[in-house]
């Protein structure tokens, strides 16, 4: 790892009470506005060289978290502290030196690469913006990066449409590495890939982390893959983190009813164990982030909800061993 000497902080990223709300037109003529609370007050940190998995159903706000952290979206409130500096409200000019240290791998490898650029141009573009390299130095660096993500240097002159989905995602990884980042936000980087390719990409990301000391925020909905790559896992529901724990601890001892339901859906490759296991089926749909339920946001789908759950919004409380949970059942 490139964990630091001297004054390099051990915590790469710290998020404090982060919120991202979107204004949405409503009413017959679109004259009224409603607020979509996509992310509504979450806090966590990521240590240098660590992978934090962020999981939850579609629409829970996890992709929005990644885009606010990298300042693709402007935060509504809260702080994003990167290497000890609050970057949440910096101007574009002040933020520019930090951008090369925070990169993103996007979900769709078919849409995230410019079809009119060659692989060499795609991977070299961040270097042209952020690194003082000559054309020859950039070309040499591109070849190194392609080999690092297990692509041939011969691929440099080809266009994205000539590659499979897995190869395109490797190009996206090479592009993210080009600016020599400390933190990479992986926004569901394997969800658009064939199952046979997913493990290859995840193993490659782990190898790169060990070799380069990169820190990951790994956003996904595949809990089995998140367990494989993450040191800790945060579970989101409707804009809130409801549970956060070391990976092994979370999978062995889930405390929140929502986490328990998610984990019950993961198949176990043992027919005897699988036959005896109880699947937790959640009732109803995820409520709208425009008008979330009062109190605990999960209570409308929770079989263990109590009257107090409608009145009190639970906060993340320490359950021991770095395990925190937001549930009145554990207060």
Q: Are 186 and 214 in contact (CB under 8 A)?
A: no
On whether both 176 and 272 belong to a single domain, the answer is no
Distance CA 312, CA 315 (A): 9
pLDDT score of 265: 80
Give the lowest-confidence range in 198-202, 283-287, 299-303.
283-287
Give mean pLDDT, residues 104-112.
90
Q: In the predicted model, what is the mean pLDDT of the chain?
A: 90
On whether both 201 and 56 belong to a single domain, the answer is yes
Residue 139 host element (H or E): helix 135-148
Count of domains observed in the chain: 2
Give mean pLDDT, residues 63-79.
96
> 79 is written with which tokens?
């702080």
Q: Is 139 a residue whose pLDDT tops 80?
A: yes
Q: Where is the domain boundary, 180, 199, 232?
A: 180
Which of residues 178 and 283 earns the better pLDDT score? 178
Give mean pLDDT, residues 51-76.
94
Q: What is the pTM of this model?
A: 0.91
pLDDT score of 130: 92
On whether residue 138 sits in a domain, the answer given is: yes
> 237 is written with which tokens?
């529901």
| DSSP single-letter state for residue 277 | P
Q: Is 245 a residue whose pLDDT tops 70?
A: yes
Q: Is 30 a residue whose pLDDT tops 70?
A: no
On whether both 162 and 19 belong to a single domain, the answer is no
Distance CA 213, CA 134 (A): 26
On whether both 228 and 306 belong to a single domain, the answer is yes
On whether residue 2 sits in a domain, the answer given is: no
On whether residue 6 sits in a domain, the answer given is: no
On whether residue 5 sits in a domain, the answer given is: no
Q: Is 3 a residue whose pLDDT tops 60?
A: no
On whether both 148 and 204 belong to a single domain, the answer is no
Q: Where is the domain boundary, 180, 195, 219?
A: 180
Distance CA 243, CA 222 (A): 16
On whether both 187 and 45 belong to a single domain, the answer is yes
On whether both 234 and 311 belong to a single domain, the answer is yes
Residue 155 pLDDT level (bands cut at 50, 70, 90): very high
Give mean pLDDT, residues 51-66.
94
What CATH number is associated with residue 206? 3.40.50.300
Range of the domain at 54: 11-101+181-330
Which residue stretches of 149-219 are H helix?
A: 165-177, 195-212
Which of residues 281 and 121 earns the better pLDDT score? 121
On whether residue 107 sits in a domain, the answer given is: no
Residue 15 pLDDT level (bands cut at 50, 70, 90): very high
On whether both 72 and 198 belong to a single domain, the answer is yes
On whether both 54 and 91 belong to a single domain, the answer is yes
Q: Where is the domain boundary, 180, 197, 212?
A: 180
On whether both 16 and 150 belong to a single domain, the answer is no
Taking the CB of residue 331, how many other CB atoms lie within 10 A of it?
Answer: 11
Length of the chain: 331
pLDDT score of 237: 96
């Amino acid at each position: 790892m490139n964990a630091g000497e001297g004054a390099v902080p051990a915590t790469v990223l710290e998020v404090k009470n982060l919120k991202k709300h979107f204004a949405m037109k409503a009413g017959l003529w679109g004259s009224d506005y409603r607020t979509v609370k996509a992310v509504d007050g979450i806090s966590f940190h990521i240590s240098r060289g660590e992978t934090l998995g962020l999981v939850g159903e579609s629409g829970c706000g996890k992709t929005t978290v990644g885009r606010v952290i990298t300042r693709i979206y402007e935060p509504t409130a809260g702080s994003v502290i990167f290497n000890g500096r609050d970057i949440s409200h910096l101007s574009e000019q002040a933020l520019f030196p930090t951008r090369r240290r925070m990169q993103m791998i996007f979900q769709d490898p078919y849409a995230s690469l410019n079809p009119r650029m060659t692989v060499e141009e795609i991977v070299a573009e961040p270097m042209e913006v952020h690194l003082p390299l000559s054309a020859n130095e950039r070309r040499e660096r591109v070849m190194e990066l392609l080999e690092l993500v297990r692509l041939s240097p011969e691929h440099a002159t080809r266009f994205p449409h000539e590659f499979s989905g897995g190869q395109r995602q490797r190009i996206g990884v090479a592009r993210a590495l080009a600016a020599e980042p400390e933190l990479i936000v992986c926004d569901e980087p394997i969800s658009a890939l064939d199952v046979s390719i997913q493990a290859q990409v995840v193993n490659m990301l782990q190898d790169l982390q060990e070799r380069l000391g990169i820190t990951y925020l790994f956003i996904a909905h595949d809990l089995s893959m998140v367990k494989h790559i993450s040191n800790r896992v945060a579970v989101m529901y409707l804009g809130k983190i409801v549970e956060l724990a070391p990976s092994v601890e979370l999978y062995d001892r889930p405390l929140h009813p929502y986490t328990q339901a998610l984990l019950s859906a993961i198949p176990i490759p043992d027919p005897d164990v699988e036959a005896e296991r109880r699947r937790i089926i959640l009732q109803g749909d995820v409520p709208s982030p425009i008008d979330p339920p009062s109190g605990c946001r999960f209570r409308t789908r929770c079989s263990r909800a109590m009257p107090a759950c409608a009145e009190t919004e639970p906060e993340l409380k320490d359950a021991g061993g770095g395990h925190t949970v937001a549930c009145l059942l554990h207060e």
